[in-house]
């Protein structure tokens, strides 16, 4: 008993010394690299950039040097007109400023899917002259931690991209495969994703053994929506996302040299009872310690104070955030203000109904006006396969161009699963669906971007 205790103490001391000398070093002598990405912009999406800034603070405090961390964030929040405390971003009520010291490697329009894949795969040439130009320059002994927080939909992760480009599952898989095939790029990669339906990026797509030498684990939410939490009445927006806040609170509480990835997963999965948290890839990685991806330094006692409880009445599905914010604001003081917000709620509800109607019309026309077929398409819950993506991307692109820009309309993302169903159904042809989208949206007033 005694002996065991002293062994643990010794290990901790050794790790602290290594941390002080040369950043955080893994037991095999490798280093930790991190890519942190907030894939949205706008004050309604405050929470995504807040989550990513907070993740940076954890890595920084845990001894990972800035030269091993690359951050992609639009950076329109800290000095936004609506931010009452300019230069400050918080991730929990009365929380510390998580914006301080965050390296802003890529901001604004450089936060796009093409750049994300280049940075991840270490394509230094490809990033020359863009942002800080920094990429993940990991070696064969190194671990990579990727944290992606954003809106998502079936088979895609969204970016705040004016061109409306998204990251589709096959593109991410291809990059992982190329990195793994080289065998010199990394040892182990762990990716935490917070986005609606992000499980569809990996489920049935990500192999469990990309390569015997490298391993990859991804930790994401499955088919449901992601959930926002910590509504701040002063700022008029949500400060965090449920899953992100939980894994980060856990990381600040536990001894990460002892906690295994799988234990963190179980804790977060149990607490995230609003949706399913899932893991994909090589689950053997789960037995590695969290410190091998997030670093570790024992927290000072003041960090151990109880964290603000999450008020479950305020927790809202990510796609309902714009509406949720209006509803919270409606508790305004004057009756005039209440009326103002009631009007906007009504307008937004109407525009959502309109969007659903347009999608139903597209399905109806595509299926040759067969009502039963439409019912089937709406309920089939199809899991996209790699070979379906040519069809799926074509439908999503045209829908985004002709009907509702999905990069500006989180609610439109919730409808994309029906296009996935069309591609999986085999009965309704892609060509008919394309014609239907074109026809319906050319002749309809689609109120683009209202929601
Ligand atoms: C991404 O940003 C780069 C500039 O950093 C730009 O050249 C490229 O066209 C953008 N990609 C897309 C898909 O918008
Ligand atoms: C989720 O857990 C919280 C406590 O952490 C509880 O208040 C809430 O009712 C639970 N929700 C569901 C849907 O189980």
273 lines ligand 2 (CB under 6 A): yes
Query: For the CA atoms of the chain, what is the radius of gyration?
Result: 23
The Cα–Cα gap between 77 and 99 comes to 10
171 lines ligand 1 (CB under 6 A): no
Could you please report the per-residue DSSP string of 322-385? HHHHHHHHTT-SSHHHHHHHHHHHHHHHHHHHHHHHHHHHHHHHHTTS-HHHHHHHHH------
- Which residues touch 71 (CB under 8 Å, ≥6 apart)? 36, 37, 52, 56, 102, 103, 104, 105, 106
CA angle at 140 for the pair 135 and 146, rounded to the nearest 5°: 45
Q: Which residue is closest in CA terms to ligand 1's atom 2?
A: 110
From first to last of its 451 residues, the chain has per-residue pLDDT tens of 333 333 333 333 334 334 433 457 888 899 999 999 999 999 999 999 999 999 999 999 999 999 999 999 999 999 999 999 999 999 999 999 999 999 999 999 999 999 999 999 999 999 999 999 999 999 999 999 999 999 889 999 988 866 567 999 999 999 999 998 888 889 999 999 998 888 888 888 888 877 655 667 776 665 567 788 899 999 999 999 988 988 999 999 889 999 999 999 998 888 877 777 888 888 888 899 999 999 998 876 666 666 778 888 888 888 888 888 998 888 877 888 889 999 999 999 999 999 999 999 999 999 999 999 999 999 988 899 999 999 999 999 999 999 998 877 888 999 999 999 999 988 899 999 999 999 999 876 554 444 4
Q: Which residue is closest in CA terms to ligand 2's atom 9?
A: 312
Beta strands in 173-236 (DSSP E): 188-194, 215-221, 227-232
Q: What CATH number should be reported for the domain whose range is 330-443?
A: 1.10.132.130
8 lines ligand 2 (CB under 6 A): no
Q: Which residue is closest in CA terms to ligand 1's atom 14?
A: 163
Tokens matching residue 197: 């339906």
The Cα–Cα gap between 373 and 371 comes to 5
Q: What is the atom index within ligand 2 of the atom nearest the CA of 273?
A: 1
Q: What is the atom index within ligand 2 of the atom nearest the CA of 274?
A: 13
Give residue 18's pLDDT. 41
Determine the distance separating the centroid of ligand 2 and the alpha carbon of 310, expressed in angstroms.
Answer: 10
270 lines ligand 2 (CB under 6 A): no
Determine the distance separating the centroid of ligand 1 and the alpha carbon of 115, expressed in angstroms.
Answer: 7
The reported pTM is 0.90
Strands 156-157 and 152-153, sheet pairing: antiparallel
* Span 6-317 CATH architecture: 3-Layer(aba) Sandwich (3.40)
Residue in 37, 113, 115 to alter for ligand 1 test, most ligand atoms within 8 A of Cβ: 115
311 lines ligand 2 (CB under 6 A): no
Contacts of 362-365 with C-beta under 8 Å, sequence gap 24+, read 362/399, 362/403, 362/433, 362/436, 362/437, 362/440, 362/441, 363/418, 363/422, 363/436, 365/432, 365/435, 365/436, 365/439, 365/440
The Cα–Cα gap between 308 and 314 comes to 13
Determine the distance separating the centroid of ligand 1 and the alpha carbon of 141, expressed in angstroms.
Answer: 31
364 lines ligand 1 (CB under 6 A): no
Q: Which residue is closest in CA terms to ligand 1's atom 6?
A: 110
Give residue 161's pLDDT. 63
DSSP state of 233: T
349 lines ligand 2 (CB under 6 A): no
184 lines ligand 2 (CB under 6 A): no
Give residue 406's pLDDT. 86
Determine the distance separating the centroid of ligand 2 and the alpha carbon of 273, expressed in angstroms.
Answer: 6
Q: What is the atom index within ligand 1 of the atom nearest the CA of 127?
A: 5
130 lines ligand 1 (CB under 6 A): yes
Residue in 109, 118, 123, 129 to alter for ligand 1 test, most ligand atoms within 8 A of Cβ: 109
Q: Which residue is closest in CA terms to ligand 2's atom 14?
A: 273
Determine the distance separating the centroid of ligand 1 and the alpha carbon of 317, expressed in angstroms.
Answer: 30
The answer to whether 247 touches 192, Cβ cutoff 8 Å, is yes
Determine the distance separating the centroid of ligand 2 and the alpha carbon of 31, expressed in angstroms.
Answer: 38
- Which residues touch 75 (CB under 8 Å, ≥6 apart)? 49, 104, 107, 108
- Sketch the domain layout of the chain as residue ranges: 6-317, 330-443
Give residue 162's pLDDT. 61
Catalytic residue positions, numbered:
151, 196
Strands 277-281 and 152-153, sheet pairing: unpaired
Q: What is the atom index within ligand 2 of the atom nearest the CA of 310?
A: 5
Give residue 450's pLDDT. 40
């Amino acid at each position: 008993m005694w002996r065991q205790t002293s062994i643990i103490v010794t290990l901790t001391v050794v790790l602290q010394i290594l941390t002080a000398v040369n950043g955080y070093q893994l037991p095999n002598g490798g280093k930790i690299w991190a890519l942190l990405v907030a894939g949205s912009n706008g004050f309604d999406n405050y929470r995504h950039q807040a989550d990513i800034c907070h993740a940076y603070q954890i890595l920084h405090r845990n001894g990972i040097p800035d030269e091993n961390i690359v951050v992609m964030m639009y950076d329109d929040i800290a000095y936004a007109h609506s931010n009452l405390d300019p230069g400050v971003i918080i991730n929990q009520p009365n929380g510390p400023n998580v914006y301080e010291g965050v390296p802003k490697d890529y901001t604004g329009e450089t936060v796009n899917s093409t750049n994300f894949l280049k940075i991840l795969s270490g394509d230094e040439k490809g990033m020359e002259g863009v942002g800080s130009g920094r990429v993940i320059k990991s070696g064969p002994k190194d671990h990579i931690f990727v944290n992606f927080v954003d809106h998502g939909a079936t088979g895609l992760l969204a970016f705040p991209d004016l061109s409306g480009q998204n990251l589709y599952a096959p593109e991410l898989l291809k990059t992982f495969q190329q990195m793994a095939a080289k065998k010199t790029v990394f040892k182990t990669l762990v990716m935490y994703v917070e986005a609606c339906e992000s499980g569809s990026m990996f489920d049935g797509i990500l192999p469990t053994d990309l390569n015997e030498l490298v391993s990859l684990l991804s930790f994401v939410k499955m088919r449901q929506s992601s959930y926002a939490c910590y509504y701040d009445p002063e700022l008029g927006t949500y400060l965090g996302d449920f899953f992100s806040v939980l894994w980060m609170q856990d990381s600040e509480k536990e001894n990460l040299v002892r906690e295994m990835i799988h234990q963190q997963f179980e804790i977060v999965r149990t607490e995230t009872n609003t949706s399913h948290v899932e893991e994909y890839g090589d689950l053997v990685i789960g037995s590695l310690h969290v410190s091998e991806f997030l670093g570790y330094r024992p927290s000072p006692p003041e960090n151990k104070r109880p964290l603000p409880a999450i008020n479950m009445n305020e927790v809202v599905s990510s796609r309902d955030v714009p509406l949720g914010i209006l509803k919270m604001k409606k508790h305004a003081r004057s009756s005039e203000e209440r009326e103002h917000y009631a009007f906007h709620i009504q307008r937004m509800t109407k525009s959502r109904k309109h969007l659903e109607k347009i999608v139903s019309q597209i399905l109806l026309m595509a299926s040759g006006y067969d009502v039963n077929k439409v019912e089937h398409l709406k309920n089939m819950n199809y899991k996209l396969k790699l070979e379906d993506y040519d069809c799926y991307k074509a439908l999503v692109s045209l829908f985004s161009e002709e009907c509702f820009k999905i990069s500006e309309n989180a609610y439109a993302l919730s409808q994309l699963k029906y296009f996935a169903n069309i591609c999986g159904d085999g009965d309704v042809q892609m060509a008919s669906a394309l014609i239907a989208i074109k026809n319906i949206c050319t002749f309809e007033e689609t109120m683009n971007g209202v929601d």
